[in-house]
Amino acid sequence: MSPVIGIDFGTTNSVVTALRPDGTARVLTHDTGEIFRTVLCFWLDPDGRQRQAAGPRAIDAYLDDPFDSRLIMSMKSHLAQRSFTETRILGRAWTLEQLVAAFLRHLLAPFAGELDGARVVVGRPVHFVGETADDVLGAERLRAGFAAAGLSDVHLALEPAAAGHRFAQTLDAPATVLVADFGGGTSDFSLLRFEPGPPRRVTALGHSGLGIAGDAFDFRIMDHVVSPLLGKGGTYRPFDTDLPIPPAWYAQFARWHLLSLMRAPKTLRDIADVMRYAAAPERLGHLLHLIEDEAGYALSRAVSGAKAALSSRSSTSLSFRHGDFEIEAEITRAEFESWIAPELRGITAAVDAALSDAALRPDEVDRVFLTGGTSLVPAVRRLFEQRFGAAKVVAGGEFVSVAEGLALIGRD
């Protein structure tokens, strides 16, 4: 059997798998673990040479020196955006494809022997992130990033279909399955018909997707709990009229992968200017210090932790401290579910679109497989249980099912 590698290049995490001789998939692990954060960090060494690290080591390098390093996150979220062409990092221009390739070299370096002569299957969302996302461009850039990393011949497969292949290993009878794959930046849905075989046959019936998932849920907590403490909703009075503090600052601040862009000198000057005339200047002062001190990563981790806790508790506390800025906020699951109502409606509409694409009624779906971190949110699971019946809904492999399924697609 030819070697097969599956690569789930994710918005938040990336996973690599390989096919075993018996035809099953196994996760290839780094010495830091099987889940590899999709982040890059750049810094200059004492001789002025640009250095870089990826994954957990990138986060460690950034936390060691946040002022003189640059953390790059959520690269996948920009693939389908024509407005993103390049960025300057410590004096050097980088295209998005070059950034993706740099990350992939770190991700794949320990597995060079496994990659030699292998068929490589890479996951892609049904629809890429962004209101103006160009899915064709997103796929082209994804391929280009892999090509720049030395993998010029890769097969792209839809991520929910890959998760479906993994789930199909548990089936011993024909079934129509709805696969819901919730990543960091996208939620994707596929309806698939499985015939166990041999040979095992998989027929794609319909697909849909939308550019919201776990990151959007984090945004809601930031927007409702954190941003008001940093001036959101306040006013400033430069003349004789009260003006609203620019809401765009908080839309950017609450999405942690965009936070580094706020370190632009013009943005910092604008915040400082508005602070002089603000009704609550100390709040804008906190915002300014969080940006200048690169404290956004630590804050985002606290927010993600609170979100995760609400999956198993009816309430939790969001705790964070940086200098003289402190948050101690109690959040109930009911509040959180009310905040994410727009995202829940979007998920419902995307499921409807997948059913319509497949020309199926909900009662014609035999099983529902949920995967990805957001599938652990009780309100998300409840949507599917109410629609298809609790007995049909199962979940699992939240962080590895897509990567394992990609290797199985390569096998089949």
pLDDT for 104-115, tens place per residue? Answer: 999 999 999 889
Amino acid present at 25: A
Instruction: Report the pLDDT value the prediction gives residue 242, as an integer from 0 to 100.
Output: 93
CATH 3.40.50.300 fits 4-171+398-411, yes or no: no
- Residue 13 to residues 350, 360, 372, 400, Cα–Cα distance (Å): 23, 33, 11, 10
Residue whose pair of structure tokens reads 């692990």 in the numeric block: 29
Give the span between the Cα atoms of 373 and 179, in whole angstroms. Answer: 14
Instruction: Report the pLDDT value the prediction gives residue 257, as an integer from 0 to 100.
Output: 59
Instruction: Report the pLDDT value the prediction gives residue 86, as an integer from 0 to 100.
Output: 84
Q: Can you point out the beta strands (E) in 336-390?
A: 367-371
Low-confidence ranges of the chain (pLDDT < 70): 1, 34, 256-261
Supply 48's token pair: 């002025």
Give the span between the Cα atoms of 185 and 354, in whole angstroms. Answer: 19
Sign of the four-CA dihedral 207, 13, 145, 39: positive
Q: What is the pTM of this model?
A: 0.83
Chain Cα centroid distance, residue 195: 32
Strand pairing category for 154-158 and 175-182: unpaired
Q: In degrees rounded to 5, what are phi and psi of residue 326?
A: -140, 140
Domain locations along the chain: 4-171+398-411, 215-339
**Beta carbons within 8 Å of 329's beta carbon, 6+ residues apart:** 225, 317, 318
Residue whose pair of structure tokens reads 């409702």 in the numeric block: 224
Give the span between the Cα atoms of 62 and 53, in whole angstroms. Answer: 9
